[in-house]
Structure 1
Amino acid sequence: MAKTATTAFVCQSCGEVHSKWSGKCAGCGEWNTLVEETVGGTPGGLAAPKAGTKRSGKTEFVALNAETETPARIVMGVEELDRVFGGGIVPSSATLIGGDPGIGKSTLLLQVAARLARNGVKTVYVSGEEAAAQIQERAKRLKVAESPVDLATETDLRKILSALKAAKPDFVVIDSIQTMWSDSLEAAPGSVSQVRACSQELTRWAKKSGAALVLVGHVTKEGNIAGPRVVEHMVDAVFYFEGERGHQFRILRAVKNRFGPTDEIGIFEMHQYGLAPAKEPSALFLSTDGDGEGGAAVYAAMEGSRPVLAEVQALVAKSAYGTPRRSVVGWDGGRLAMLLAVLEARCGISLSGMDV
């Protein structure tokens, strides 16, 4: 006998399921994130299958040493982007890209979609956040409005999958996964159940169709991609788009990549006509002040296969209190304490009464 659907309180930050409501999530410690959702009789919170339905078919096995043809990567034509992906995006793959609002995720992906479409790649761009006129206006500003990109503004997952099956594209952008919703669930769009179900269906379609799928995800105030962590396990690659709105540089960092390295970064520069690969990546990490200033040192850091020059700045002053302060930004506090201990023990520099 099938288990009937019930309701539970699901944390919208981490996906933890609670039997009753409480102000604080026991899983992640966030406040006021529990929302009542319908939980089906199947694992994962999906709706239970209707009574009387039968699924036929068999599973085919292949030998571990069987020769299979490896599809060629789709080269996107943006040097920094291809570097992070490991030489291009792989067909039948699902990629999740997250970043702060306004950081440039939609701008970069629209530029990539337009470039691929001009090179003969069947490209589809689906937006659930903006109207078609807004995207067309952005395309005119980026000088890519003449590219043959198939544009759709839809949030219904069933309609999107039907359109994708009919169009048979090679490259698909979903902007964003938090706006998609499935009519098989009663939860609201953006909830943990909807994000998980929509991601699973879109990823399954990408694996069967052979298309390269890119999902855009929102991030929380802590910088993590919003929704359940299981979404990051479903996809093949996870990238974070970092940077500040007032700064012209953006960094694309690989967190997970089944088809390439995870220590590579791509550095982009915001221009009038969109994002472009940075010509001098080291300029992001170096000060523009004069040379020879005290308290600053430049060293070469390896980011993947590329050396990047970075600057470390330090300030030491006498402490006005009994306990000196130790403050560090962009570095591990434990390593700072170890470095100060080495300076005192081996170099004879007394820092016990200094704020660092």
Structure 2
Amino acid sequence: MSVSYKQWGTINDEPIYLYSLSDEIVVKICNYGGTIVSIQAPDRAGKLDEVVLGFDSLDDYLISGFYHGATIGRYANRIGGGVFSIDGVEYDLPLNDGLNHLHGGFNGFDKRVWHAEIIDDASLRLSLVSPDGEEGYPGVLDVSVVFTVLGDRLEVDYFAVSDRPTVVNLTNHAYFNLGCSNTVLGHDLWIDSDYYTPVNNGLIPTGVLEPVDDSPFDFREKTRIGSRINADHPQLVLGNGYDHNYVLNQVGNPQISVTDLTSGRVLEVSTTMPGVQFYTGNFLDGKENGRNRVIGFRSGLCLETQFYPDSPNKPEFPSPVLRPGERYIEKTVYRFTVVS
């Protein structure tokens, strides 16, 4: 295990650093946006190679609009109409996704320079303070994210406290591609989930928990992603593919796995969060060039562990409200193995 770093550039004369956490996998993290820049994991022959989409230069992250590898906050995913209420007080947020608020707004945590601290030979802590009223959210929010590489695992621990009632939903927006294909449609996916949250034409959940039975959304048995993505299903039409929250069945053991049979790589994800957004890169447009590949339509998939989208406006969903005296503590683990 080891942690090293180098200066990667500057933003407004402030140095930006790239940190490398190494063990059986190698993870590179930038303190701009709390960004996972790179994850290298071995294939069945033991060869390390890249398994996330991204760039070799800081400048590319500054101009990209696709949240590559970024830490998302204060509220990951969408809030309908950019408005929510806590204790009868209404808060208005900027609309940066049509008529909705997405991923914390125009200046979310993905665009902040985080304070970085190497904790030990396996861990990096990133922290920031979000002032009261930033992007419309109430309360001074003190946030930290700890990235730890142990063996074949990347562990991501999220912490936050607030001096006023607020909403918090932190996640990471890495795009995974476990092989060398230009799409992830050949990957096999398993999700331990009996329900998903269908959306309206603004991709805001309707509030219904829809059973996955007899639908293209059923991944309770390992299924090829591309086998049903173009099915004539109204929800797939709305999302132009998969862009939906799944209600996870359990906490602790892996709830999600992705397999690329060509390379032999397997990604297992476990989380304390109640949901995961499975997104197949339907808005990636091929205008960005990443590391030796065009970042095109469905070339990566996201597994954004989260509170459900629009939960601040859906009392029937798990609550993302954080109050003074409470502590937001959540964890997501990414484990990289190979098929036997």
Q: Is TM (by shorter chain) over 0.5?
A: no
Q: What is the TM-score of this pair, normalised by structure 1?
A: 0.25
Q: Which has the higher helix share?
A: 1
Bigger-Rg structure (1/2): 1
Q: Which has the higher strand share?
A: 2
Q: What is the TM-score of this pair, normalised by structure 2?
A: 0.26
